[in-house]
Amino acid sequence: MPMSVHPMQGPNRLKLGIFSANADGGLTLTRAPERWRAAWPDVVTVAQMADRAGLEFFLPIARWRGFGGATNAREWSFETLTEAAALAAHTQNIALFATVHVPMVHPVFAAKALATIDHASNGRAGLNIVCGWNPEEFACFGLELIEDRYGQGLEWFDILTRICTADTPFDFAGQYYNLRGVCGLPHPVQRPRPVTLNAGFSPPGRAFAARAADYLFTTFIEIDAGREQIADMEARAAAEGRAVGVYTTCHVVCRPTQAEAERYYEHYAVEMEDTAGADHYMGNKQKFSGSHDPEAYRLHRKRFVGGAGTYPLIGTPEAIAAELQRISAAGFAGVALSFVNFKNEMPYFLTEVLPRLQGMGLRV
């Protein structure tokens, strides 16, 4: 029997997931020796930990190159469609996302791979569409970054969704794809297609999400600014006659005292920063992506080293639960969490923060 409710549509007001555990360093650019190495058995362990704790989703990052420096973070990363299929056999309830680069992965292939994950997981597959930003990764495929990334993305998504429902082969004539006799069985378990996120920040990214995603997956600098982004996303979706929720992502250091949490944050994200890796990453990301508010690069180097420019949740279980409550009150539907070392750090977070969120009525 397929799952009756996809985890992303379950009862919790604030959905939680794990982000980037498939990649060396997770979201960090730190030389701290305990940093995440993403050994396969450890990836399985944290996926199972998240699953048992009732988290809603497991979301990988899509990377094809590292960021140089002392650690060359993320060069070691598991491909996300095959990872999700493998994790289907190791987990019971959690949604398993694949993060798929539009220009690198053909939509006919992506549709079949996604349907495979959906069957293997009994309807728990998820698609996170990324249109890409990193020219070094595009070059690995012999591709160049194009201006109209989202135009290609819309054609890609149209083809994929049609494959998910088409009963007879169809032709597609677009600007980026010219295909004949396209078909694909089995259709996914989820109807009409697996739950879909789009990772982006810029206005064109939001315009794309308004047409092609169930949820925008985005960043923010301050919670109040996040509120405005959500209002903008809602207006864009409404103009398309759709509703699109907004997920975000945060990096976490949770400790019994605030001082301990801040000390460790300073240690791994400042004293032990991978300086050349961070310079490379921040320089290219600022130049080629619109993933963050431009102010973020000037103000928040620590956040880029600590968690790829995401919002920090640093403190006691009480303080972190209170921040998550503010994030939920701002209108975010869910948060993808990352840790320096997922396996070591998640047990304390899960044991101490989840019950507090239940007490606040954010999770059942």
Ligand X SMILES: Cc1cc2nc3c(=O)[nH]c(=O)nc-3n(C[C@H](O)[C@H](O)[C@H](O)COP(=O)(O)O)c2cc1C
Q: Which residues bind ligand X (CB under 6 A)?
A: 61-62, 99, 130-134, 199-202, 204-205, 217-219, 249, 289-291
Residue with Cβ nearer ligand X (189 or 252) = 252
Alpha carbon separation from 43 to 11, 59, 78, 231 (Å, rounded): 26, 12, 10, 35
CB of 281 to ligand X, least distance (A): 12
Residue with Cβ nearer ligand X (310 or 328) = 310
Residue listed under structure tokens 């029997």:
1
Residue with Cβ nearer ligand X (17 or 194) = 17
Residue with Cβ nearer ligand X (54 or 290) = 290
274 and 24 Cβ atoms separated by less than 8 Å: no
Taking CB atoms within 8 Å and a gap of at least 24, the contacts of 282-290 are: 282/309, 284/134, 284/135, 284/136, 285/133, 285/134, 285/309, 288/133, 288/134, 288/135, 288/145, 289/133, 289/134, 290/133, 290/200, 290/201, 290/202, 290/204, 290/205
Distance between CA atoms of 65 and 140, rounded to whole angstroms?
8
CB of 286 to ligand X, least distance (A): 11
Amino acid letter, 121: S
Residue with Cβ nearer ligand X (145 or 322) = 145
CB of 364 to ligand X, least distance (A): 26
Distance between CA atoms of 337 and 314, rounded to whole angstroms?
12
Residues 6+ apart with CB under 8 A from 347: 49
Of the chain, the end-to-end C-alpha distance in Å amounts to 24
Helix (H) or strand (E) holding 178: strand 178-182
CB of 218 to ligand X, least distance (A): 5
CB of 171 to ligand X, least distance (A): 29
For 256-275, b where at least 16 C-beta lie within 10 A, e where not — what string? eeeeebeebbeebbeebbbe
Q: What does residue 26 show for φ and ψ, rounded to 5 degrees?
A: 60, -115
Residue with Cβ nearer ligand X (19 or 172) = 19
CB of 141 to ligand X, least distance (A): 12
CB of 347 to ligand X, least distance (A): 25
Residues 6+ apart with CB under 8 A from 10: 56
Residue with Cβ nearer ligand X (99 or 121) = 99
Residue with Cβ nearer ligand X (143 or 182) = 143
CB of 66 to ligand X, least distance (A): 13
